[in-house]
Each structure stands twice: as C-alpha cells, then as structure tokens.
Amino acid sequence: MARFKDYLTVYMWVAGFTSIMIASAGVAIFPQLATPPMKLLYNGNIKVVSKSYSYKPGQRGVTRTFYRRDSMGKWQQIDNCTIILLTTLFYFSILSFIVSMYFGFSFILKKTVKNKAGD
C-alpha cells in the first residue's frame, strides 16, 4: 500500500507541474486553452485580443489580453494572475481526476485478478 501512495504522490506532482506548464506556456502560445475555465467563471462572457508588434527590424512579439464583460456590459481586463491561477486549477483538477481513475481502476483490477487466481 505504501508503494501505491508513493506512485500516487509522484503522479499528482506530475499533474501539478503539467497544469502549471499548460497555464503559463500553453496559454501564451494557444490562448484558447484558457477559455474553458474563464467561461465557467465569467458565464461565457470573455474575449481575447491579440496584438502583434515589432520593436526592432527582424524581431516581433504578440500581446494577448483577456477581457470579461461585467454586470454593466463593459469589457474589463482580466489580470494575468487570475488567468494562470484559474487555468492551473482547472487543468490540475482534470489531470488529477484522470490519474485517480487510472489508479482506482488498476487497483480494482489487480484485486479482482488476485481473487480469481486465489479461487
């Protein structure tokens, strides 16, 4: 049982790290990754604005800004900490659910196979 807990702990750390990477680097490249948790929090009233800029010849960058609609109908900017925190929690909950289902089913299957082998 201790080995089971060690594996589960390691996989939860991996799920946490992966969700942080999705929330930071993934959202910077693909802003659509942040829309599911934002739509849950803000009732689907969000938009993403991407602006390209060039500050030197041969170099360019992209600025992504997330907006939400408030109760008065105005668009207000969502700060980066909120985006990263919500996206991390959203993807961590999905990944930890998948990990717990995997361990739960494998534990049940091992017990079933042991019981059938013992019969």
pLDDT in tens, the chain (119 residues): 567 677 778 888 888 899 999 888 888 889 888 889 998 888 878 999 999 998 888 888 888 999 999 888 899 999 989 999 999 999 999 988 888 888 777 766 676 666 665 55
Task: Enumerate the H helices of 22-76 as residue ranges.
Answer: 27-29, 35-41
| C-beta neighbour count of 64 within 10 angstroms | 15
Measured at the alpha carbon of residue 12, what is the angle toward residues 83 and 5, in degrees to the nearest 5?
160
Least Cα distance to 67 among 89, 98, 34, 101 occurs for 34
- Alpha carbon dihedral 42, 49, 61, 19, in 10-degree steps, equals 20
Amino acid, res. 102: Y
Report the b/e string of 23-37 with b at 16+ CB within 10 A.
beebbeeebebbbeb
Residues whose CB is less than 8 angstroms from the CB of residue 6 and which lie 6 or more positions away in sequence, other chains included = none
Q: What is the pLDDT of residue 99?
A: 82
Calculate the alpha carbon distances from 22 to 1, 41, 54, 58, 110 in Å. 31, 18, 26, 28, 33
